[in-house]
Homo-oligomer: A and B are copies of this chain.
Amino acid sequence: MNEYPIPIERLVDELSKLPGIGRKTALRLAYHIINLNEIQVKNLSNALIEAKEKIHECKLCFNLTDKEYCDLCSNDKRDRSKICVVESPKDLFAIENGGGYNGLYHVLHGIISPMNGIGAGQIRLKELEDRLNDDIKEIIIATNLSVEGDATAHYISQLVKDKDILVTRIAHGVPVGSDLEYFDSVTLKLALKNRTEI
């Protein structure tokens, strides 16, 4: 007998499909789940279904939300003249939790990556273009500093070229509280190049 009973095998199979979960971890989780009471398993199962059913993209900024427009887009106190462009909702929440920004967002849900066959048409760039009306004064690009991030930033700056909109990119440099010795040369060069007067 090298196999567990079918319902356990099926659960282990399904859990192993999740990112970062191999068969051993899936088995540990499966044992844990079998030892929970029925209500706890129902709660977990319902949370899965409910998140999938209720969460979709905001009609304006494509952030994840359970409403038509997300809490940020429907918040009157946000500065509607600025749009911060991010790759994923995770990046949006990271900036939001940082607390230094009060404008709107635009979630691309991906990044231009010819190596992976992802062109401008596959991410939410057309939808960004549609948002660029006269109220928008600044686009802040917060894509990563990678080939793909650069390509996407370049594409966006081309979109905006003929409009009276400022395009900026978040600063890349050495994080606060970190030791210089641990950073790669590209980060250090950038940090020097973009130095600011104190």
Interface set of A (CB-CB < 8 Å, partner B): 1-2, 4-8, 10-11, 13-15, 17-20, 25, 27-34, 36, 38, 40-55, 64-67, 70-72, 88-90, 93, 96-97
Q: How many angstroms from the CA of A185 to the CA of B147 in the assembled complex? A: 53
Partner of A41 from B28, B29, B48, B65 at Cβ < 8 Å: B48
Known contacts A11-B47, A50-B7, A31 near B90 by CB under 8 Å: yes
- Determine if A41 and B31 form an interchain contact, defined as CB atoms under 8 angstroms apart: no
- Determine if A27 and B97 form an interchain contact, defined as CB atoms under 8 angstroms apart: no
- Determine if A13 and B45 form an interchain contact, defined as CB atoms under 8 angstroms apart: no
Min C-beta distance of A114 to chain B, whole Å: 22
- Determine if B29 and A52 form an interchain contact, defined as CB atoms under 8 angstroms apart: no
Q: How many angstroms from the CA of A54 to the CA of B175 in the assembled complex? A: 51
- Determine if B20 and A51 form an interchain contact, defined as CB atoms under 8 angstroms apart: no
Q: Which residue of B lies closest to A99 (CB)?
A: B2
Q: How many angstroms from the CA of A19 to the CA of B53 in the assembled complex? A: 26
Known contacts A28-B20, A43-B14, A38 near B52 by CB under 8 Å: yes
- Determine if A96 and B48 form an interchain contact, defined as CB atoms under 8 angstroms apart: no
- Across-interface contacts of A49 in B (CB, < 8 A): 41-42, 45
